[in-house]
Structure 1
């Protein structure tokens, strides 16, 4: 896939990213707004990875590392570009980032109802751990 560019998001990408997530990502988050994405980019400019093809956003993944855990969020590929290796390329880039930072294991947030995503993650070598549950509180 030589025509695919994987790069870090910048502040000028935020509006396009938010539009992309509304079209390509499953579910929404309290941080799916300009301030939320800007805060991520300001805090960790290399965390939000974009797959760009022909100048258009084709996929995203957030590869967050806090010094303890590697976490993958918002793996999304545009519906017209699925099954072309874009998710794999994004996961490879995220995993390379984690390895460079000293990460040892990746946790991925995947919606239960998004069974299509389950196949993508499994194909990437990830497995589900049923003995954990996510606990959240909005601030």
Structure 2
């Protein structure tokens, strides 16, 4: 894994990140568009972490901190690079980021039906909290996009 490199995404890479998510991520989000990802980077330039393996995109995670809570989204590893420690390395980098910002606990949005993701999150030390459900409301008009 010495060739694995993790860094913050640059605004010029938004189209490549969106294309990567179409291939490597499970599901889609209402914010999976150039405007949504650009807004994320404008507000928190270090939040979108990219993993590259031998110079090739291998994975992503969004490690957003709002000053109170640490949120993890879009942990995705390209199928060609799975089971090589990419997700673990991304989560370690995200957790280091959170600690450096004063965060105390990370939480993750994980699709209920994604059993492979459940295994990965458990292996990284995360546990599901059964007392919570996610409540959502699209803002700014009607949207037909999935609310992941």
Instruction: Tell me the TM-score normalised to structure 2 length.
Output: 0.93
The CA deviation at 1:61 is 0.2
CA distance in 1: counterparts of 2:116 and 2:36, whole angstroms: 26
2:145 aligned partner? none
Shift of 1:85: 0.1
Aligned: 1:75 with 2:68: no
SS where residue 134 of structure 2 aligns? coil
Counterpart CA distance in 2 for 1:15 and 1:4 is: 22
How far does the alpha carbon of each residue in 1:73-118 deviate from its partner, in whole angstroms, 9 at most, with x for none? 0000001110000000000000000000111011100000100000
Per-residue Cα deviation, 1:43-69 (whole angstroms, up to 9, x for no partner): 100000000122221000000000110
> What's the RMSD between the two structures over aligned residues?
0.6
1:55 aligns with 2:55: yes
2:110 aligned with 1:110, yes or no? Answer: yes
Matched, 1:14 2:14: yes
More displaced, 47-56 or 76-85? 47-56
TM-score, with normalisation over the residues of structure 1?
Answer: 0.98
1:4 matched to 2:1? The reply is no
Q: Say if 2:28 is the partner of 1:28.
A: yes
Aligned mates of 1:31, 1:65 — CA distance in 2: 17
Gaps spanning 5+ residues in structure 1: where?
none
